[in-house]
């Protein structure tokens, strides 16, 4: 294989499509989707009104938070932004979604804010949805009262994407870029790529950029070249 030493061309990233219709259901996310969508997305059946979603990067946690927030009117924010948030305003809708919740352990201020947020929602019978890569016990929380309360939350784990989900995501990513591919391309990519949705997004962007640079269609040979270049640059 001829190594292409030039730098990969950059293309403008497309905005992530986090709508409900774009979420691809698969065995690896079926339990999480069913738990969130039960009772019309209200979260009415969650024990103590709180739920923790965990899973590797690109497993769909953030997408599910967007869907749930859209369905319930919940306030959604990154956990690190909680220290500057107006907690009273944040809890007005009675539902809050915190992404990257493991980052609450970054400071005592964040942990204290999360503790007050939890209690304010609990007092009004609200719902708290948290997403993180690992279970609560692994977040490194130092505030015992917060740790005990979050460990009592229902926990649903998403697993790494399977072939069916990755194939569906790749097809959609190419379609979003209005790129036509052969039926043989995705079966070629699946056993050779990293098993995450984030990796799928990066790979499609690289393939699109390289095809534009070479002024050729995306083929299996082009895909092989791009994957080899990624290894060479590591």
Task: Say what the pLDDT of residue 195 is.
Answer: 82
Taken in order 90, 91, 93, 94, is the CA torsion positive or negative? Answer: positive
Pick the CATH number of 24-38+46-157 from 3.40.720.10, 3.40.630.20, 3.30.479.10, 3.40.50.300: 3.40.50.300
Whether the predicted pLDDT of 77 surpasses 70:
yes
Matching fold, domains 24-38+46-157 and 163-233: no
Domain boundaries, the chain: 24-38+46-157, 163-233
Q: Are 197 and 169 in contact (CB under 8 A)?
A: yes
Alpha-helical segments (H) within the chain: 30-37, 61-72, 87-90, 108-123, 144-151, 163-176, 185-189, 197-214, 220-233
Task: Say what the pLDDT of residue 21 is.
Answer: 64
Whether the predicted pLDDT of 15 surpasses 50:
no
- pLDDT average, residue stretch 6-18: 46
Could you give the 3-state DSSP secondary structure of residue 73? coil
């Amino acid at each position: 294989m001829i190594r292409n030493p030039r730098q990969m061309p950059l293309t403008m990233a497309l905005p992530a499509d986090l709508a409900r219709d774009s979420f691809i259901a698969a065995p690896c996310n079926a339990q999480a989707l069913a738990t969130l969508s039960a009772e019309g997305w209200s979260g009415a059946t969650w024990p103590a009104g709180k739920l923790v979603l965990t899973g590797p990067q690109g497993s769909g946690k953030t997408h599910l938070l967007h869907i749930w927030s859209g369905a319930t009117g919940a306030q959604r924010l990154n956990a690190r932004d909680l220290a500057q948030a107006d907690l009273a305003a944040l809890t007005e809708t009675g539902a809050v979604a915190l992404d990257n919740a493991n980052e609450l352990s970054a400071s005592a201020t964040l942990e204290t804010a999360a503790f007050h947020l939890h209690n304010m929602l609990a007092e009004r019978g609200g719902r708290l949805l948290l997403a993180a890569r690992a279970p609560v016990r692994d977040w490194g929380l130092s505030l015992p009262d917060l740790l005990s309360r979050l460990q009592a939350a229902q926990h649903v784990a998403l697993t790494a994407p399977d072939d069916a989900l990755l194939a569906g995501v790749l097809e959609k990513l190419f379609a979003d870029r209005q790129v036509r591919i052969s039926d043989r391309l995705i079966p070629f990519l699946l056993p050779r790529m990293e098993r995450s949705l984030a990796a799928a997004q990066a790979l499609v962007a690289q393939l699109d950029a390289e095809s534009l640079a070479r002024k050729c269609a995306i083929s299996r040979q082009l895909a092989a070249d791009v994957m080899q270049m990624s290894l060479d640059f590591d």
